[in-house]
Structure 1
Amino acid sequence: MTFTWKTPPWQRNEDSTHMAVLVADAGDGQISFNTQSVRGDDATEGLADLLMGPGGAEGAAVLLPGLLAVVVRRGIDVMWMAQPPIQVSPAGDGGLNIAVAGAEEGEVTAFSVEEAKALLDRIKAEYEAGQ
């Protein structure tokens, strides 16, 4: 599988363009958020930067205990990073409903843990094969 980027986001020397929020189960019904700025042209590239960049420890981010989802938002907003306006509730099918207050269409993308792991597997297959 090949990716459309010329330079992987985690290898770029550019300013961050997105914010990534790790949404995790903190126990006792509590949800924790860990935010980080990431690079990329879109949400998928931002997730790739999170996974492979310094903060993702080459994929360790998706192995965090209790990780529920990763939410990627276009743009950098310090207030949003300090307190992401994300609401998480259980869905009837065993999944999660993730709502982001004030988000405009296309501004925020939520990735399930399975989607993040699948992207990590694709990246590793593409980029570790040549090493």
Structure 2
Amino acid sequence: MRDMTFTWTVPPWLRHEDCTHMAATITALGGELAVHTESVRGDDAREALADLLMGPGGGGGTVLRPHVVAVVVRRGIDLTWMFEPPIRLAVSEGKHLEVLVAADQADQTEVTVFAAEEVRELAAKLHLVYGPTP
């Protein structure tokens, strides 16, 4: 698991700047997989995830529902990617249901995949420091 610490002086969800990344939240509910995208701010993928978690869409905990299985963060804003993200989802069964996420990177754009555990770990740290809602 990657390091989910944060060292910013101003959290991304409190910055007055344009969005720098896109986040695709992948959910599994009732056997169906769905992808929801939105633009977010941050200097890197971890900060963009923090903005997703604590910003307008995540401040109330909407991103943390149990059916979230992964978040894919892409550097830059691309409306084509936002409306139809090139994310392939594959489900494999073993001891646990596992969702494998693969984002196409043909344009060499920085794409980071955060597993549900990483999303929840960062959210817990953010809520500990900043409270559940900013």
TM-score (norm 1): 0.84
| Structure 2 residue runs without a partner (length 5+) | none
The amino acid across from 1:42 in the alignment is D
* Greater than 4 Å deviation, 4+ residue runs: 103-106
Deviations 1:69-117 (A, max 9, x none): 1111000000000001101113466432211123566711111111111
| Structure 1 residue runs without a partner (length 5+) | none
Do structure 1's residue 76 and structure 2's residue 77 form an aligned pair?
yes
Query: How far apart, in 2, do the equivalents of 1:101 and 1:52 lie?
Result: 27
Paired position in structure 1 for 2:126: 123
Query: How far apart, in 2, do the equivalents of 1:108 and 1:73 lie?
Result: 4
Paired position in structure 1 for 2:91: 90
The structure with the greater share of residues assigned to helix is 1
Paired position in structure 1 for 2:35: 33
SS at match of 1:47: helix
TM-score (norm 2): 0.83
SS at match of 2:61: helix
Map 1:27-66 to 2 at 5 A. Answer: 27-28=30-31, 30-63=32-65, 66=67
Query: How far apart, in 2, do the equivalents of 1:42 and 1:104 lie?
Result: 18
Instruction: Pick the aligned partner of 1:20 from 19, 23, 42.
Output: 23
Identity of aligned residues (%): 48
